[in-house]
Chain A
Amino acid sequence: MKNYRYVARSKAIAARALGDETMVMSATNSTLFTLDEVASVIWAAADGVTPLDEIVANKICARYDIAQEAALKDAEALVENLAQHGIMLISDQPLALSGASRKETR
């Protein structure tokens, strides 16, 4: 059992969908990530309040021919990887979409 259920996109990123892919750039180190079609679905649904298992059931298993258990395992690997790079947040509690915001004027 994972110690988190909720996932949210970090705000310290820049992201755009391009076709079925999503390109995400870390705003802290400018590393560029390309998410494939399925990863893009999870990324788009990672609102911080929908549990990951619900995202997998409703957005992945309902659309693609894959068993819930296998899909959830893949999804967990994905979000943990993205979290390690600081572009996704994971928590056992619902998350407001968060991240550093700055008010200075340049």
Chain B
Amino acid sequence: MSSVTAAVQSSCVVVEIGGLPIRLRCDSPTFVRQIEERYAGYLSSSDDARFDFEIELAPPGAKSRDEDVRVTWESGLWVMQRGDFRAEWDPSTARGRIRQTINPYSLDCVLRIVHTLLLAREGGFLLHASSAIRNGRAFLFSGVSGAGKTTMARLAPPDAALLTDEISYVTRREDRYVAVGTPFHGELSRSGENMRAPVEVLYLLAKGPKNKIEPIEAADAVRGLLGNVLFFARDPEFVKFVFDTAFDFVSRVPVRRLTFVPDTSVWELIG
């Protein structure tokens, strides 16, 4: 008697943000296609992913994305949870598991967390900021919700390459900080260009009656920066890494207050 064995093939896709390729495996071809669409421009054909995540899809339920994210270090694993997902990641094996509903925005949140954890050890961070490259240099525009991050992105001239309108990715390369494009977007609803350039200036945004750039004290710069860095992990070691990085960043990169009128004239001051 012959037997027929049906094996479920796991599909995979490699998403590479900031030069860190992460392989995502999932049994659902439908969800893999969603991932490919969501991260278009950030997909890698490389087989050499540095990290692997197995995604298990949970049935849709009443779980909410409005809950706070919790990130904890438990018995050698990073555990990341919100209403719509639970993920575990073992840094020692570079492998992890994600259980989530079929929703690319849940995965988006897990990837943001993983990147903040990876960046922290390497002197980088994710920042609530839009960013763009102009004349080979990157400019960051940071502020709380409503400060004008997306507005600055919308007003960018054609010769500016937009890296993100919401979450800027900053890495340390030797003695410089480099801004990298990300697929993490806000109201603009489109991914940034997959490009990178040295950070020229960090602007802390404020809206006002006329465009002006002002210097600020180092302490205010550190406060402004730390106030907008993404902190997911309430973990002493992680916090210390980010804290030290903020001081180092401010010692190397000019931080200015940018007050602006929301029209294209503000970009005459940039670049």
Contacts and interface: CB of A to CB of B under 8 A. Distances in A.
5 contacts: A18-B222, A19-B219, A23-B223, A27-B239, A34-B223
Contacts of A27: 235-237, 239-240
Nearest to B75: A104
B236 A30 contact: no
Given A19-B218, A25-B226, A105-B92, A14 B76 contact: no
Main SS class of interface, A = loop
Contact of B91 (A14, A19, A106): A106
B247 interface: yes
Interface residues of A, number: 20
Nearest to A22: B219
Interface of B: 73, 76, 91-92, 121, 217-219, 222-223, 226-227, 231, 234-237, 239-240, 242-244, 247
Contact of B239 (A18, A21, A25): A25
Interface string A66-101: 000000000000000000000000000000000010
Given A12-B236, A100-B236, A102-B237, A21 B243 contact: no
B227 A18 contact: no
A27 B243 CA distance: 9
A32 interface: yes
Interface of A: 12, 14, 16, 18-19, 21, 23, 25-30, 32, 34, 100, 102, 104-106
A106 to B, nearest CB: 5
Nearest to A99: B236
A27 B247 CA distance: 16
Nearest to B243: A14
Nearest to B250: A18
Query: Which 10 residue pairs across A and B have the least CB separation, nearest first?
Result: A27-B236, A14-B243, A27-B239, A14-B240, A30-B231, A25-B243, A18-B219, A106-B91, A12-B236, A30-B239
B239 A14 contact: yes
A102 B76 CA distance: 11
Contacts of B235: 27
Contacts of A32: 223, 226-227
Nearest to A106: B91
B35 to A, nearest CB: 27
Nearest to A105: B92
B234 A28 contact: yes
Given A14-B239, A104-B73, A105-B92, A21 B234 contact: no
A28 B226 CA distance: 15
A23 B231 contact: no
B20 to A, nearest CB: 16
A78 B92 CA distance: 42
Given A28-B234, A34-B223, A102-B237, A16 B73 contact: no
A23 B240 CA distance: 12
Nearest to A16: B247
Contacts of A29: 234
Contacts of A34: 219, 223
A99 to B, nearest CB: 8
B253 to A, nearest CB: 16
Contact of A14 (B73, B217, B223, B244): B244
Given A14-B240, A104-B76, A30 B219 contact: no
